[in-house]
Amino acid sequence: MRKKEKSVVSIFWFRRDLRLEDNIGLMHALRTRENVLPLFIFDPEVFQRDENNGNVQVGFVYDTILGIKEKLETIGSGLHVAVGKPLDVFKSLMDSYHIFSVYANREYEPYTLQRDDEVDAFLANQGVEFHTYKDQVLFEQNEIVKDNGEPYTVFTAYKQRFLRKLNQSMVVPAPISKYAHNFFRTTPLPVPSLEIMGYSRVEVPVPPRKLPAELLKSYEADRDFPARNGTSHLGVHLRFGTVSIRKVTALAMQHSETFLNELIWRNFYSVILWFFPQVVHTSFKPAFDEIVWENSKEDFKAWCEGRTGYPLVDAGMRELNATGYMHNRVRMVTASFLCKHLLIDWRWGEAYFARKLLDYDLASNNGGWQWAAGSGNDAAPYFRVFNPELQAKKFDPNGEYIAKWVPEYGTISYPKPIIVHAEARKRALARYAEAVKAK
């Protein structure tokens, strides 16, 4: 029997850019190539499984790619979905297709950089070009640096430069639909179920993919109050690119400087991770690796379960456990409490958030944790120790957020504080001072 001729295709590899509009890499693929076959890979290194094969983000991603697949099928195309190590997936795709070139948007985490280098080397060996583009951030690592070429390590200076360089032309959407005739024509391609791919779904609510102008207008006034629902909840959509950073930035430029500031933090942490990949495992400021942590397993469990006896901390942890989300102010308070009050290594808390947050992102989570631990690239000194009771008074003045998540607060069934604030503060300052002195 004659072997079936392989189709000649170019691949567009979706990663954290899960949308069919305003997608720079996809636009380049469709503009320059015919027969563009979109691909998504469930890479177990990116979607790590817990002991029950669960991953809080995988269900969201699965539903999103099914949506993309459906849309592609309405125009006679399809999406190839695979599970496994990307290098192996490309090797096996070569058996089914003659691959002309591969397109993708760039990623910046240590693992993804190494993975892309490996894929690039493999493809080059096969005579296949691998083209990558900036899409996920407005400015990549070398685009905002000091005059001497060194990275900024202090946010305010980075932000000033960022704002000087930012202009309207950078947030113009990348057109896709006018090139849609270049998608590969195919009959629908089968997609394995999550279970077959070895994952179990963790059910958490998915926030809408919307950014109303009214929210932006009151963002500055409301953003710090967890009971007000005054933030966008777009974290997961920015993490996986279900909204475009250009679209969100354009709205921020129009309606809210404060919101724009937060988007700049996101870009800043991505660049910090690129320049200083060691932060994944070690403190940004090496002296803080000398801290002698208490690391009490019992205290850690109480923190995880929201049983510390500090109602704002407990409310935050219970919100996280129940919804896969925690308000930013409360992330700061819970994280600071773990590191400073309980003297538990920030990496324990970071790993817990990574497992629970729907919007988990290595760069922002690591940046947030190191900020809270005082070990990161923050201008404020380590001796700022949040007082969780004062934070509650200030940011949840009517106790609504606490009442929602800790309904037993104020009754005898609510636990006594796990540690006295004044003593914890004293102990933390002494322990931090020793570490700084030792270095």
Which residues 295-334 are close enough to bind ligand FAD by CB under 6 A?
A: 328, 331-332
* Residue of 182, 293, 321, 389 marked catalytic: 293
* Residue of 346, 348, 371, 405 marked catalytic: 346
Among 361, 375, 391, 401, binds ligand FAD (CB under 6 A): 361
Nearer to ligand FAD, 35 or 375 (CB): 375
By CB under 6 A, tell whether 368 contacts ligand FAD: yes
Among 26, 41, 357, 424, binds ligand FAD (CB under 6 A): 357
Among 269, 337, 352, 405, binds ligand FAD (CB under 6 A): 269
Check if the beta carbon of residue 226 is closer than 8 Å to that of residue 83.
no
By CB under 6 A, tell whether 265 contacts ligand FAD: yes
265 catalytic residue (yes or no): yes
Q: What is the DSSP letter of 171?
A: G
**CA dist., res. 141 & res. 134, Å (int):** 11
For 423, list phi and psi in degrees, rounded to 5: -70, -40
**Strand, helix or coil at 39?**
strand
Instruction: Tell which residue, 59, 119, 107, 56, has the closest CA to residue 241.
Output: 107
Nearer to ligand FAD, 232 or 375 (CB): 232
* Contact track, ligand FAD, 5-44, x by CB under 6 A: ----------------------------------------
Check if the beta carbon of residue 241 is closer than 8 Å to that of residue 17.
yes
Please, what is the minimum distance in Å from the beta carbon of residue 46 to ligand FAD? 14
312-316-317-318 Cα dihedral, nearest 10 degrees: 100
Among 266, 340, 347, 356, binds ligand FAD (CB under 6 A): 266
* Contact track, ligand FAD, 225-264, x by CB under 6 A: ------xxxxx--xx----------------------xx-
Please, what is the minimum distance in Å from the beta carbon of residue 378 to ligand FAD? 11
By CB under 6 A, tell whether 372 contacts ligand FAD: yes
Provide the annotated binding site: 219, 259, 262-269, 359-361
* Residue of 369, 377, 387, 405 marked catalytic: 369
Burial class (CB in 10 A: 0-12, 13-18, 19+), 392: buried
Instruction: Tell which residue, 395, 290, 276, 280, has the closest CA to residue 334.
Output: 395
- Using alpha carbons, list the distances in angstroms from residue 14 to 26, 241, 407: 9, 10, 43
Instruction: Tell which residue, 215, 211, 221, 218, has the closest CA to residue 247.
Output: 211
Give Cα 276 distance to the centre of its chain.
17
Structure tokens at 435: 């570490």
**CA dist., res. 321 & res. 155, Å (int):** 30
Total length of the chain: 439
262 catalytic residue (yes or no): yes
Of 175-183, 316-324, 360-368, 377-385, the window that binds ligand FAD (rule: CB under 6 A) is 360-368
Provide the annotated binding site for FAD: 219, 259, 262-269, 359-361
387 catalytic residue (yes or no): no
Check if the beta carbon of residue 90 is closer than 8 Å to that of residue 119.
yes
By CB under 6 A, tell whether 369 contacts ligand FAD: yes
Residue ranges in contact with ligand FAD by CB under 6 A: 223, 231-235, 238-239, 262-263, 265-266, 269, 328, 331-332, 335, 353, 357, 359-361, 364-365, 367-369, 372
